[in-house]
């Protein structure tokens, strides 16, 4: 059996440290006391088997939300055997059990708050990452929209060019139609002139036929030796008429 005397420094008073030490000592089956010192440290006197004391020494080096052990000054001695159990020394201004329960409740609350805080931080990180992903997707979509807009502008330009060419072609068609109309008018004029010429030709033929008939009649008179002078006069008239018509 040995005795361990340990003086623990750090954030160890009014944070539930003595209760944790007492619980640990009882779990290992050790005997002794734990008390607060005026300089802010906690002193532990504990007796038991050497191996259990080594375990206890490691177990009291606590660092959590409330308790922060910085150093442990320890020394081993021979066991005195005056302790029948492990307890803690309570000052007159301490409420002992109530204080321990309050510290335990506060500790649990702080641990819960820390858990919520970590969950919120994780949620915030995930949300921030999702927002970044959404932002990247929006940027990609914006780029695609810009590309589509550019293609639409190019297509619009090509449509405008095609429209201009169609307008030019329409103008040429109108010009060609005008020329065809003018040509049709000229053809109609030529057709009218041809009709007039044919009409004159028909009139001339009729006139020639009439003169020929008159000539035949007069030739008959010549053959009958009637009026030769009259025949010559008529022949002269025929020649004059033919010259006037442009036939001879």
Of the candidates 18, 43, 64, 243, the residue annotated as catalytic is 18
Residue 18 known to be catalytic: yes
Helix 50-59 vs helix 17-28: angle between axes, to the nearest 10 degrees? 150
Residue 133 known to be catalytic: no
Of the candidates 3, 20, 36, 41, the residue annotated as catalytic is 36
* Cα 185 from Cα 179, distance rounded (Å): 10
- Distance, C-alpha 73 to centroid of its chain: 65
* Cα 92 from Cα 224, distance rounded (Å): 191
CB 45 within 8 A of CB 87: no
CB 56 within 8 A of CB 48: yes
* Cα 20 from Cα 1, distance rounded (Å): 23
Burial class (CB in 10 A: 0-12, 13-18, 19+), 200: exposed
Cβ-based neighbours of 88, under 8 Å, separated by 6 or more: 18, 19, 21, 22, 33, 34, 35
Which positions are catalytic?
A: 18, 36
């Amino acid at each position: 059996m040995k005795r361990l005397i340990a003086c623990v420094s750090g954030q160890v008073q009014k944070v539930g440290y003595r209760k944790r030490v007492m619980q640990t000592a009882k779990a290992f089956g050790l005997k002794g006391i734990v008390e607060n010192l005026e300089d802010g440290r906690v002193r532990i006197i504990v007796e038991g088997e050497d191996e259990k004391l080594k375990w206890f020494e490691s177990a009291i080096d606590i660092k959590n939300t409330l308790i922060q052990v910085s150093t442990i000054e320890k020394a081993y001695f021979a066991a005195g055997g005056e302790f029948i159990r492990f307890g803690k020394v309570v000052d007159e201004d301490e409420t002992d059990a109530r204080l321990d329960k309050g510290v335990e409740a506060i500790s649990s609350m702080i641990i819960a708050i820390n858990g919520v805080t970590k969950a919120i931080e994780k949620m915030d990180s995930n949300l921030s990452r999702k927002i970044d992903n959404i932002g990247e997707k929006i940027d990609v979509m914006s780029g695609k929209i810009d590309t589509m807009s550019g293609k639409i502008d190019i297509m619009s330009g090509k449509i405008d060019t095609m429209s201009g060419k169609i307008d030019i072609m329409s103008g040429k068609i109108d010009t060609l139609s005008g020329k065809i109309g003018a040509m049709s008018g000229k053809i109609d004029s030529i057709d009218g002139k041809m009709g007039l010429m044919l009409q004159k030709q028909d009139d001339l033929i009729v006139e020639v036929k009439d003169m020929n008939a008159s000539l035949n009649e007069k030739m008959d008179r010549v053959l009958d030796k009637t009026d030769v002078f009259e025949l010559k006069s008529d022949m002269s008239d025929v020649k004059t008429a033919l010259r006037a018509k442009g036939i001879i």
